[in-house]
Amino acid sequence: MRKYDKVGLIGLGVMGYGMALNLIKAGYTLVACDVNKERIKMIPDQDKVIAVDHPCEVLEHTNTVITMLPNSPHVLEVLEGEQGLLSGEIPEDLFVIDMSSISPDVTKEIGKKLEEKGVKFLDGPVSGGQSGAMNGALTIMVGGKAEDLEDAMPLFQAVGKNIIHCGECGAGQVVKVVNQLMSAINLISMSEAFTLGTKAGVDPEIMMNVIKGGSGRCWAVEDRMPQILKGNFDPGFTINLHTKDIKLAVDMAKNMNLPLYATNLVAELFKTAQVKGYGMNDNCAIIKLYEELAGVEVRK
């Protein structure tokens, strides 16, 4: 079993910050890197943090690095950029764990390149949102070798509760895309249905309580509808990020020549929400599109 003392974390955004707190709570010293230096300064236990300016500098302190970044280009830049992890001498037994949500195809390319360089690699995208990251309760979908997962398990257990080996390199990203696609479609179906019911004169809170016990129950109703009823669209997971994930599904289907009817419609609806300026709102703000059309608000 691989032993850890210092662990690198590149990317301390909405998800990475919560992961940082839980890695420190588990006893690790964090070698932290983020383009926004203020995110690192926000960590309460600064005596357990080594802040660095560039990804390559992380390797001066540890040979185990977790990345939690917005999209495929960011991960590639951190790995292969001018001051990326692979820009200098690669330390012995380097282990890279990418927990971002990115293209499965890009992930497979990364895995192949790193394997050629003798670097261990896992993809481990997560689900559970900001609350899951803060509470150390993320679901982690892992792609890669089983023996590498065994080595990474202490780190995964520090930030997650449900850790599932999905298959070979890239499999974790595939499952994450599927999950995000389903949650997006559920958000749309919920938005349409609750706007319809509210327009027809029924209290949306009553509808929510009924549907929670019915066949229409889903994460969107149980987790997001309570926030919609409060009019709270502060981001836990933004429309911008969810739109990116839906596009990954569209691209995958295109590459496989697979028609996905609802997926393409949902992609256009989320794109419309971006154009309307809702991109930095929580993904449940997608309901605003339907509220505007219906002339009602789904609120308590």
Instruction: Supply the residues annotated as catalytic.
Output: 176
Coil vs helix vs strand at 238: strand
Neighbours of 265 (CB within 10 A): 12
Cross-strand bridge partners of residue 120: 95
44: left (phi over 0), alpha (psi -120 to 50) or beta: alpha
What H or E segment, with its residue span, contains residue 96? strand 95-98
> Which structure tokens are listed for 99?
């927990």
> Which structure tokens are listed for 45?
């236990």
C-alpha to C-alpha distance for 240 and 117, rounded to whole angstroms: 34
Q: Which residues of 66-78 are buried (b: 16+ CB within 10 A; e: fewer)?
A: bbbbbbbebbbeb
Query: Are residues 123 and 144 in contact, defined by beta-carbon separation less than 8 angstroms?
Result: yes
| Distance set, CA 105 to CA 84, 172, 253, 297 (Å) | 20, 11, 12, 41
Q: What angle do CA 151, 155, 161 make, to 5 degrees?
A: 110
| Distance set, CA 197 to CA 204, 218, 221 (Å) | 7, 17, 14
